[in-house]
Amino acid sequence: MIHSHYDLQYVRNQFPNIGDLAFFENAGGTYVPSTVSDRIYDYMRRNQVQPGSSYSASAEAMERISRSHRQLAEMINAKPSEVIVGHSTTMNVYVLANALRPSLTAGDEVIVTNLDHEANVGSWRRLAESGIVVKEWKIDRETAELGGPQELEKLLTDRTRLVCCTWCSNITGTINDIQAITELAHSAGALVCADAVAYAPHRALDFRKSNVDFLLFSLYKLYGPHLGVLCGKQSILLDLENQNHFFFTRSALPQKLQPGGYLHETAASIEGIVEYFDQVFSHHYKKSDTSISARYAKVFELFTQHEDKVARPFMEYLNSKTNVRIIGIPEIDYTRRVSTISFTVEGQRHSEIAANLGEQNIGIGVGDFYARRCIDALNLHPGGVVRVSMVHYNSEQEVTRLIKALDQVL
């Protein structure tokens, strides 16, 4: 049973950061609810010791980290052994590419896109040093879209081993049909590495259902601490080379792909993300004993509805301005895009627009956001794009403020 309305005030109350700043740089990193920040603080005060020994502070530290890991896996419908937590997505891909390299032979092919953030490109491109042929799936310069699986089909051969593609662009907000892409890649015998970093703040992930072989996302853009997650199918992960100390065996999952470990206090706070989604669920739905993943999926249905509602007037506003070019789909449609909206403004310095809004306590982003190849392909240097990204805690009032402030500048 759904609440008659989405209780935005309830949601906003969970985030201590929310105040006068109208924050629209969520695609760069989201706020964290107190369920997360309190856990970091509490862990450091009570459990800041080496985890895994028998004394109570240490045993409890281990239990907090392990519980977080299990809950994260359950949330995204993966096995705990399939979930690798690392410092960032960029680092996770670096480790993955090195672990995969020995199983590739010269002449094998890897496909990357020029839409992706460099995190899911650079480490794959370096495989060329080992004789791997790297092919680029290019965006259309008018639409900034990859053009769907039919475009990918042209690049696939019997030597293709891997397709690396973003699930959602951090510039355009366009959602790619990752299931169709995966089906096609699999039919050609290739694996898929999908970057869901820009997707995860807006839609629930289901690793099993997506059927991708490797799934990437960053917890600091999912209302959590600064960590990256790499999820991989167990049978494939088991085949990868150990990247950790020599005494970790091939079957040591996830440790063999976590060289150097990660910050314990942040790892222990991951269950705070799950708790936050659970709280939002309980507040809006009649209590029921559904799974963590089902509750998380339900909560994101609410978030999606709300995001579409707040993004709509902004998109209408941009469409009314003749000096604005929207990069990507120029309409709000939750089936095709998320509420990350980028645009360019003719004859204006983007950095000055951001500085002007910053003076009015409105946070937006400008630049290439490390999707450098996309910005290059669209010929948008040096200023890149202006990016406004809204998530489920943004309010209509904040959007009204944004439009008013922008209207004085555009």
Ligand X SMILES: Cc1ncc(COP(=O)(O)O)c(C=O)c1O
Which residues contribute to the site for ligand X (CB under 6 A)?
Answer: 88-90, 117, 119, 166, 170, 195, 197-198, 218, 228, 370
Token pair for residue 384?
Answer: 């890149």
Residue type, position 124, single letter = W
Least spacing, CB of residue 52 vs ligand X, in Å = 26
Compare residues 156 and 311 and give the one whose CB is closer to ligand X: 311
Question: Min. distance of Cβ 102 from ligand X in angstroms?
Answer: 24
Neighbours of 304 (CB within 10 A): 18
Least distance in angstroms from the C-beta of 98 to ligand X: 16
- Residue 74 CB contacts under 8 Å (≥ 6 apart), including other chains: 291, 292, 293
How many helices (H) and strands (E) the chain has is answered by 15, 13
Toward ligand X, which CB reaches closer, 14 or 113?
113
Cα dihedral: 260, 261, 264, 269 (round 10): 140
Going from the C-alpha of 340 to that of each of 174, 201, 205, 239, the distances in angstroms are 9, 10, 18, 37
What's the CA gap between 325 and 143, in Å, rounded?
11
Question: Least CB distance from residue 28 to ligand X, whole Å?
Answer: 6
Q: Residue 117 or residue 203: which is nearer to ligand X going by CB?
A: 117
What is the rounded distance in angstroms from the CA atom of residue 36 to the CA atom of residue 56?
Answer: 22
Q: What is d(CA 174, CA 195) in angstroms, rounded to the nearest whole number?
A: 13
Return the structure tokens found at 268. 């222990």
Nearer to ligand X, 156 or 377 (CB): 377
Residues 190, 161 contacting (CB under 8 angstroms): yes
Closest approach of ligand X to the CB of residue 228, in Å = 4
User: Looking at this protein, which amino acid is placed at residue 175?
Assistant: I
Nearest distance in Å: CB 180, ligand X? 19
The least CB distance from residue 177 to ligand X, in Å, is: 17
- Rounded Cα gap, residues 47 and 65, in angstroms: 11
Q: Which helix (H) or strand (E) holds 83?
A: strand 83-86
Shortest reach from residue 227's CB to ligand X, in Å: 8
